[in-house]
Structure 1
């Protein structure tokens, strides 16, 4: 059985049994319910037994499923312990990492950071894939995922790396910019947006005040880098991460609009399945990642 046992699928099955349903396991794992169901089905196929009887309204663990469930936690713990022993045996971290990253973070940060990481740990190879959801940990078999919050409730382990901010910017010569003194004044300006889940609104905060604008952008993109470039060319007012805005403001290519009004801060997290899943190579990467991100944030520059 061990030759055919998929540990990722076993972890999903263990969560289903522990939580009592596929839906609850999906919430705990931060994964789509369809992914959870497929992992269990694949595990059943690989073992040649039925582990869970399910209907549209309920599920029941079979006798074979109960046998596997009773040993699953020990098997998972043993696998994690073996993984640590293989990488902790008095030698430099080695092996392969597969990390999920948001596309913006990959574009402005990951190349330099990954090169520095490899220079420090030449025995580790790393693969970075674009990923946006905690559930991709299971679906894409990742060691960890870097993601912007807020995070959904789950049993995944999350470590906050840094709190980021957004800055509203425009080209200095954008017509009408001198008339913008309050967020509502932006309603008569051309706006550049990068919608999140099709939400067309901007939130501004100043002390206890909050202003929510329902915007109609003249330009809409899927990338903050593209929105920045459009603002640089005078396309309108954009709301972009401060880490992208600050160099252009310091160079005089952009100006900050409504500097007294701030957008809600966004935390950057790294998420992994469990504390037991942190290998020496992943711990080494997390140390480099955390140090680089925090140093860059303190200095207001890209990593």
Structure 2
């Protein structure tokens, strides 16, 4: 196997053959169809042969493609086993680790976690990459991705890391706050939003009750941190992750609005290609990450 043989592209090609189409492989891998097509084209270019004949309506695996497909699963398994053996060979995990994660999670959590990780595993270099979608595993060639749920259906392996929630908050002296007893009472209040796909609505849950409020925000941001800071400064009511709201509430800079109502949970997951792809350095990182997450959860329960 020469240096031009791309195992990530081989994994994508194997998924295309197994699923029967580029679109189905894209769904299985959680990646854009264009990324799947490019990876297969790159593999064909590196090998100098046509692996798949495709039209706008169908695809056919060539003879060369069938030969490669028949060996791909074994090649991928052997590569994973070799990688695992190499990383397990030393007394301590070593090498380079690339992990994708949402910018917000990196900003509020990863500084001390990464420092702790480096102290414990000095032979591992850690690179954090801003990423939002599990499909970026293939496109950015990452070892794992930390992603907010819900996650799309795919063949990727996902493990829940944090059971998340959203909290509605505002500055203590915001006019009209005393009259807010129900989500509908927010109508007419100044609202600060961080929209998801430009959806202008907030959902609330209380027991079996659900309320969806269409909103017209007075301030709109692309960052939860900015929304938090605007709320602290008296700009209005906002919904932010509980992990971000709790320190401000404890310090008295924010108060919880509608404490009986919660936003839909946004759990945090760690996603990786397969169980076989978990190297010792990735396992070490996940162990440190879970330690910090569990310690933070225990501290919140004591508050």
Alignment TM class, shorter chain as reference: over 0.9
Deviation for aligned residue 1:298: 3.0
After TM superposition, the structure 1 = structure 2 runs for residues 173-184 of structure 1, keeping only pairs within 5 Å, are: 173-184=173-184
CA distance in 1, matches of 2:255, 2:55: 59
Match of 1:278 in 2: 278
Match of 1:76 in 2: 76
After TM superposition, the structure 1 = structure 2 runs for residues 55-74 of structure 1, keeping only pairs within 5 Å, are: 55-74=55-74
Match of 2:289 in 1: 289
1:34 and 2:34 aligned: yes
SS of 2:229 mapped into structure 1? helix
Match of 1:148 in 2: 148
Asked if the contact 1:161/1:294 (under 8 Å) is kept, the reply is no
RMSD: 1.0
Q: Which runs of 5+ in 1 are unaligned?
A: none
Match of 1:8 in 2: 8
SS of 1:72 mapped into structure 2? helix
After TM superposition, the structure 1 = structure 2 runs for residues 1-303 of structure 1, keeping only pairs within 5 Å, are: 1-300=1-300
Asked if the contact 1:243/1:300 (under 8 Å) is kept, the reply is no
Deviation for aligned residue 1:39: 0.2
Which runs of structure 1 show a deviation greater than 4 angstroms over 4 or more consecutive aligned residues?
Answer: none
The alignment's TM-score, normalised by the length of structure 1, stands at: 0.97
Deviation for aligned residue 1:90: 4.5
Q: Which runs of 5+ in 2 are unaligned?
A: none
